């Protein structure tokens, strides 16, 4: 689930005309975010993902690629599905069946329609429209540890998207990501709690974030705040090791500027080490 910060160079000049960042699509199996060798692709409202990533998360026995036929055999729970690139016909346990969408190859990866394939193997599939997650559930399996993406949990995403919304509403995407990076830098620092929730609600040296005091931390995040949260948690920092930020035009205290080392300004926020 390693995301690429596409077009962030444009955000460095804070173009007011830049389009809003879409929320990256992720896949969860039984509540666990899973690793994908390439980012899922959405076409005509359908989500496609690399074949092995989904199959492995569903505890497949094998995935065998036939280059001559441009086909793949997927075995899960003793059932075998043979799919062909570009074809809406497949073979399930020896019987030809129709698929609603055809698998395809992109950047040397085989992508399959997530819902159609998962349901064939007895899984239930739903769509989380708020966080842009494909939710796959299947009883009696545990997602292999090797398939679990540990970049963040759903609880991390829930609170990170809310602090970004509350602290940087109206800021450019790059600035929203930078706010998320400050939270993550604090998680890594021995000066602060070691969880995203703990950092946001930290009161060791008084309440750290105004949204916790005024209740705006509980407001619904916008799509771009969710996108910024995902991008922040799955990429290298965009503001180095900064641990502090504030808006000097509205801040009630100047402690940060007097006691910390200035790093950069993004939008209305100044960031400090």
- pLDDT (tens digit, 9 = 90+) per residue, 93-132? 999 999 989 999 999 999 999 999 999 999 999 999 999 9
Which residue from 269, 224, 245, 259 is spatially nearest to 24, judged by alpha carbons? 224
Beta bridge partners of 206: 204
Range of the structural domain that residue 163 is part of? 152-272
Length, in residues, of the chain: 273
How many domains is the chain built from? 2
Residue 121 forms part of a structural domain: yes
Q: Clarify whether residues 163 and 265 are in a common domain.
A: yes
Q: What is the CATH number of the domain that holds 115?
A: 3.30.457.10
* Residue 37 contacts residue 53 (beta carbons within 8 Å): yes
Kindly give the parts of the chain with pLDDT less than 50.
1-18
Write down the pLDDT at residue 1: 47
Task: Please state, in angstroms and rounded to a whole number, the distance separating the CA atoms of residues 101 and 80.
Answer: 18
* Residue 188 contacts residue 195 (beta carbons within 8 Å): no
- pLDDT (tens digit, 9 = 90+) per residue, 127-147? 999 999 999 999 999 999 999
Q: Clarify whether residues 126 and 176 are in a common domain.
A: no
Q: What is the CATH number of the domain that holds 197?
A: 1.10.10.2520
Last residue of a domain, one of 132, 147, 162: 147
Q: Clarify whether residues 114 and 74 are in a common domain.
A: yes
Last residue of a domain, one of 115, 147, 179: 147
Write down the pLDDT at residue 19: 53
């Amino acid at each position: 689930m390693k995301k690429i910060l596409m077009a962030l160079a444009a955000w460095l000049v804070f173009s007011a005309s830049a389009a809003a960042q879409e929320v990256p699509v992720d896949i969860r199996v039984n509540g666990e975010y899973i690793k994908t060798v390439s980012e899922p692709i959405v076409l005509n409202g359908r989500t496609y993902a690399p074949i092995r990533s989904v199959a492995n998360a569903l505890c497949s026995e094998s995935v065998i690629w036939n280059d001559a036929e441009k086909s793949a055999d997927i075995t899960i729970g003793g059932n075998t599905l043979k799919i062909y690139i570009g074809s809406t016909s497949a073979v399930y346990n020896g019987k030809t069946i129709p698929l609603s969408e055809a698998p395809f190859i992109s950047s040397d990866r085989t992508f399959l329609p997530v819902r159609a394939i998962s349901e064939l193997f007895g899984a239930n599939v739903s769509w989380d429209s708020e966080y842009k997650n494909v939710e796959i559930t299947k009883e009696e399996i545990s997602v292999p540890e090797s398939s679990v993406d540990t970049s963040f949990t759903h609880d991390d995403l829930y609170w990170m998207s809310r602090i970004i919304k509350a602290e940087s509403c109206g800021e450019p995407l790059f600035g929203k990501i930078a706010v998320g990076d400050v939270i993550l830098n604090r998680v890594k620092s021995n000066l602060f709690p070691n969880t995203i929730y703990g950092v946001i609600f930290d009161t060791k040296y008084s309440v750290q974030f105004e949204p916790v005091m005024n209740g705006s931390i509980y407001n619904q995040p916008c799509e771009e705040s969710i996108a910024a949260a995902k991008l922040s948690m799955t990429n290298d920092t965009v503001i180095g090791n900064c641990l502090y930020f504030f808006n000097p035009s509205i801040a009630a205290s100047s402690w940060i500027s007097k006691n910390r080392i200035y790093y950069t300004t993004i939008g209305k926020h100044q960031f400090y080490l």
